[in-house]
Amino acid sequence: MTKTARTAEQILEYYGTESLIGALRNDLPRRITQLKEIVRTKREEYLQHEQQRQLVEADIATDIAAELDPNTGKAKYSNEKTRAAELLRRKAESQEYQQAEQEAREAKMSMEAAQDELEEMMLRNRNYLGVLNVIAAELNLLASYYELPLEPTLSPQELAAAQEAEEAY
């Protein structure tokens, strides 16, 4: 081996493979599972708040459609444009609607923040797998060049499991 050639141990140490492998085996899968559950919970909360907002809006729309002109006894808001305009006005004035809309908006933002965090963890997982593949390629190249036997740090089953977890997202 020449002076410039790095040994497999030096490569592994240089790249910090122990921490990468630890993250892929323990930290990231656990955090990804937690975040998936959080996203599901927050999505359900958002859907409940959004449904409540829609119900309040439907109540307002029903009141508008049922309102009669006292002079004629006919529908006060007889065309679609006037009903839509009145709906907008009443939603803006309705404390109940404003609260339902605010709660739905906050729940949606919370859900999206959790989704962003999950996507970040998934991206980190993909990046770690990519780095480990580069390290493995470098080690394989050195092993074949110097005719060294190398023991894989991550078994094919573990690597396949990590890639399956990534694809399951």
The reply to whether 121 falls in a domain is yes
Provide the 3-class DSSP secondary structure of residue 74: coil
Structural domain containing residue 92: 8-168
The reply to whether 124 falls in a domain is yes
The reply to whether 146 falls in a domain is yes
Token match 């599901």: residue? Answer: 40
The residue type at 110: S
Per-residue pLDDT of the chain (169 residues; tens, 9 = 90+): 443 345 667 777 787 888 888 888 888 899 999 999 999 999 999 999 999 999 999 999 999 999 998 888 899 998 999 999 999 999 999 999 999 999 999 999 999 999 999 999 999 999 888 888 888 888 777 777 766 655 555 667 776 777 776 676 5
The reply to whether 130 falls in a domain is yes
Model's pTM, two decimal places?
0.71
The reply to whether 3 falls in a domain is no
The reply to whether 1 falls in a domain is no
Count of the separate structural domains present in the chain: 1
Provide the 3-class DSSP secondary structure of residue 150: coil
**Which residues fall within 8 angstroms of residue 113, CB to CB, at 6 or more apart?**
none
The reply to whether 2 falls in a domain is no
pLDDT on residue 169: 55
Per the CB < 8 A criterion, the answer to whether 39 and 121 are in contact is no
The reply to whether 127 falls in a domain is yes
